[in-house]
Amino acid sequence: MSVYGTYAYFDTSEPRRKGDTAVFSILPHGISAADDYCLQFYAVLYGDEFGQMETFIQYFDENDERVEMLSIGMINQESVPRPPVDDWLPFQYPIKNMPASAVKASIIFKAVRGRSPQGDFALDDITWFRGECFEKTPFLGCARTLKNPFRGGIPVGFWNCSDSFYMGSTCNLICMEGYMVTPGYEPINNCDEDGLFGGWSDDPAEISCQKNYCTFPKPDSEGVWFFGCTDEKNQNMGIITEGGSCELRCRPGYERLSPQLIVCIGDEWRQLKASTGAYTDRIVDIDEIACKKIPESKLSVVEKKRIENFSPPKQLGSEEENEKVETTKVTTTTTKADLPEFVKTTKATKTTTKNPKKAKTEEKKMKEDDPTTQAPTTFSTSTESIEEDEPKMGAPKPTMPTKKETPPPIFARPDGASDEEFFGTTAAYEDLFEMTTPSPDMMEDIEDAIEEVENDKKKKKKKDKSEDSSACSIVMSVLLLCICML
């Protein structure tokens, strides 16, 4: 039973055949025929049709002559749990009514092979003592709740025990690559009389193997503007599983001791580069994840300005953030800008001097572009109804803002001209300043210039055509000369 000791083993594989036997015996020991005894041992009988194992006691007299041999117990298919258990099982047999002449006795185990070559036998920790079997119970053990951990039907670890689940056994949990022991527990569980969990020192249901993880960082709140991690599911357990990452940002006036981004690789924190999404070889200690105050003497002017203007957002999930804040009505109305009286008068007067049909079209267009003809636009962040000062109209189509009217330049008033003479009518304004219509002489000069340009273009085109013809004539002459020579 002990990993440091030995045990007896009966091999039933080839070339053994059904009915073959194996015998294991203990040397004779002195006994008292008037007393009762008890035999206790552990055995493993596992496999298909392992056969049977019978236990005998053989008595000897003072001359070492055999007096009698009796069967005291039988182990077969009906004697072990079904389905078979691949583990050490305890057995005990009382020894009573010894022959009066017996002074010594020995124990003999006889195993018979069954039909299958996979049904083996093993014996260990064989003891016998004077008294009743209930007086000594070496088979005390812990509850059989120590199970090998699985994930998705795949084993991720196993328990290695010094003495199975029996009293005094020490079991070590060995996790496979990529897995670690449950956080907060050691990979050791002891079976003893003081165990609170069915004899075990720790709860077997809590100790298992899970994916690699790192300890969840908890930086001091001083100077921290923002700190957050992925893998929220396991944060309550105080861990971040492998591949999870965290980000730390400090308030103005503080500097990070660790990188801004870190990622859990294996059971260590590593620096994570945001530009590439890859981690580096730098290992970050959990105590480094903090913000350190910058001494006043080392603060730059820019940093001091940031400190003055800094206003961090509310922490997500805080009471203030979760409170319902009433919305405030904000109404924005576009209003008509007051135009100077001079621009109004000029605009109205000039429209009368144009073609009536064209003027009507432009007047309609101006009316569409004029924001004063549209319903006022209002915006509100509340759900309450908004009362309008003007009668409700159909929803207006969105319009572009009107082009800003640029008032005409103001010139110095001619000597002797009154305000009415200078600003009264559009005609007065046009007579004094409008020079957009050219004189007849100017128009004649412009037409002559245009005609001259056109003539130059024709002459150039004719010249280019002549040059092309000359080049062709030369080429043809050369070709004819070559033909004549041939």
pLDDT in tens, the chain (486 residues): 344 457 888 887 778 888 888 889 888 989 998 899 999 888 887 766 677 889 999 999 999 999 999 999 988 877 766 556 667 788 899 999 899 999 999 999 998 888 777 777 888 888 888 888 887 766 677 887 788 999 888 999 999 988 777 788 899 999 999 999 998 899 999 998 788 888 899 999 899 998 999 999 989 888 888 899 998 888 888 899 999 999 999 999 999 988 999 999 999 999 999 888 899 999 999 888 999 999 988 888 888 888 888 876 655 544 554 454 444 444 445 455 454 454 444 444 444 444 555 555 555 555 555 544 444 443 333 333 334 444 444 445 555 555 455 555 554 444 554 544 444 444 443 444 444 455 566 666 667 777 777 787 787 777 766 666 666 667 676 666 666 665
Scanning the structure block, which residue is given the tokens 């594989």? 13
Distance separating alpha carbons of residues 190 and 195, to the nearest angstrom: 8
Tokens of 351: 């429209």
The CATH 2.10.70.10 domain(s) of the chain lie at 150-211, 213-309
Phi, psi for residue 231 in degrees, rounded to 5: 55, 50
pTM above 0.85, yes or no: no
Tokens of 23: 């015998």
| CA distances (Å), origin 474, targets 126, 180, 477, 483 | 128, 96, 5, 15
Cβ atoms of 88 and 162 within 8 Å: the answer is no
**Residue 139, C-beta contacts closer than 8 angstroms, at least 6 positions apart:** 40, 90, 92, 166
Distance separating alpha carbons of residues 142 and 199, to the nearest angstrom: 5
Q: Is the peptide bond before 204 cis (omega within 30 degrees of 0)?
A: no
Q: Span 8-135: which CATH code?
A: 2.60.120.200
Q: Span 213-309: which CATH code?
A: 2.10.70.10
Q: Closest Cα partner for 161 from 144, 176, 177, 178?
A: 144
CB atoms within 10 A of CB 318: 9
The CATH 2.60.120.200 domain(s) of the chain lie at 8-135
Q: Span 150-211: which CATH code?
A: 2.10.70.10
Distance separating alpha carbons of residues 442 and 435, to the nearest angstrom: 13
CB atoms within 10 A of CB 219: 20
